[in-house]
Structure 1
Amino acid sequence: MTGLRRFLVEDREPPPPVEHCDLCSTPIPPEHPHLVQLDERRMLCACGPCGFLFDNPGAGAGNYRRVPDRYLADPAFTLSTTDWDALQIPVGLAFFLHNSARGTVVACYPGPAGATESELGLAAWDSGIGASALATELRPDVEALLVRRDPPACLLVPIDACYRLVGLVRTHWRGFDGGAEAWRAIDGCFDELRARAQTLEREA
């Protein structure tokens, strides 16, 4: 039995790697804060104390911003086919964020190779999705509008939620249209985000 036990131990899957804070190297749990490093447009994992430190906008010479834990939905939001087509996004799924370094709105869409930044003009942003109540709430660099064409959906989410969706697409996408498994993963992600989202409160 001792010999058999040795083979059973060897056949076990190795434990998942432990993540560490990118600032102080402290081990961190799977759910942890994230920071955006503005100069390099890089996402950093942080422990609780480091994340708390960068709640102050002036910390780190203003080069780091903590990603907030805010999810908003607007039941009054509508997305027409004309509005979407005017954005010239080649797929039916995208997220939009204010890039403070460039002073503009950036459109990204997930695909099998990762997140692709749209190089197409966004002249229709101000009169379309950008005119929505959710768009006026966006915090630069750390939040995004996650928009789906069919079925129509628009959520204000932390930017790390968008990159989690990008990771799902990369993992499950098969063939030209993604395949059923990829779209089940996308549907599940949107269901989870909707469940976390609070309704946007409008001023009277």
Structure 2
Amino acid sequence: MTATGLRRFREPPRTGRSGGPPMTLCELCAAPAGEDHGHVVNVERRGLMCACRACHLLFTRDTTGRARYRAVPRRYLHAPRFLLGAADWDEMQIPVRTAFFFRNSAMDRTVAFYPSPAGATESLLPLETWERVLAANPAMADVQPDVEALLVDRRPDGGFACHLVPIDACYELVGLVRLHWKGFDGGQEAREAIEGFLSGLRERSRTVPPAPGGDGGNSGDGGDGGDGGG
């Protein structure tokens, strides 16, 4: 995601006219986008763009799979018991408690990022490990490329929870971490902002039952999730 795409979550809306109240403009047609507007991903540039309702609907359906722009949907799912082992988490080299995973169609592979004070930081993602995780969680595997992501949170008890979310929700979290992070461990303000964000996701999500034969959220060793950023 470009710096321009992330900036919209850290700066006030643009003003539509001189001296008028702040408003967000559609970045495709320059019309007022509205307060509760959607977003469109520029697949080639990895940019997130504000879109009015008409433009968002225009790019909702990708019939070819090769469209330059794709509308970000508003689907929210929550798997409170996500089968993922601590060894797999460590193998993906994620040093904090949350990370998000999405398929980059331009690269034709799944990529992993985690929120940090510097923004969205990419982590090495062993594809075999991630394919194993998805196979263990089939209800969360149907993620639309480029526009949806799996946001995985390591709980303090060592288990994992997962949210299937629009990609813009992930960058909203990244913006919150950048805005509130203080010191080495983020501080209380950042932790409260992260918990508030995750609580909001749970409220708007449809809960997905555990996979058959699941062991309550762990497919490997547990461990203390800590309270690192994101």
**TM-score when normalising by structure 2:** 0.75
Among 158, 167, 184, which residue is 2:166 paired with?
A: 158
Structure ranking higher on relative contact order (CA contacts 8 Å, 6+ apart): 2
1:19 aligns with 2:24: yes
- The answer to whether the aligner puts 1:31 opposite 2:39 as a matched pair is no
Provide the C-alpha distance between the structure 2 equivalents of 1:128 and 1:32, rounded to a whole number of angstroms: 33
Instruction: Check the 8 A contact 1:87/1:122 in 2, yes or no.
Output: no
Where in structure 1 are there 5+ consecutive unaligned residues?
1-13
CA distance in structure 2 between the partners assigned to 1:74 and 1:16 by the alignment: 40
Cα displacement (A) at 1:48: 0.6
Deviation of the 1:29 alpha carbon: 2.0
The 5 A counterparts of 1:1-150 are 17-58=22-63, 62-119=67-124, 121-129=126-134, 131-150=136-155
> What amino acid is aligned across from residue 28 of structure 2 in structure 1?
L
Pairwise CA RMSD of aligned residues? Answer: 2.5
Distance in 1, matches of 2:21 and 2:175, equals: 17
Larger Rg: 1
CA contact (8 A) 2:113 2:120 kept: yes
- Spell out, residue by residue over 1:119-168, the C-alpha distance to the aligned partner (whole angstroms, 9 max, x if none): 45444111235642244211111000001113432110000000000000
- 1:198 pairs with 2:206: yes
Tell me the number of residue pairs that the alignment of Structure 1 and Structure 2 aligns.
191
Query: How far off its partner does 1:86 sit?
Result: 2.3
1:79 offset after TM fit, Å?
3.3
Distance (Å, rounded) in 1 between the aligned partners of 2:196 and 2:29: 34
Contact 1:145–1:155 (CA under 8 A) maintained in structure 2:
yes
| Residue equivalent to 1:184 | 192
| Runs of 5+ unmatched residues, structure 2 | 1-18, 213-230
Deviation sequence 1:27-74 (CA, Å, 0-9, x none): 122211100111111111100111111122149x71111100000112
Using structure 1 for the length normalisation, give the TM-score. Answer: 0.84
Q: Which has the higher helix share?
A: 1
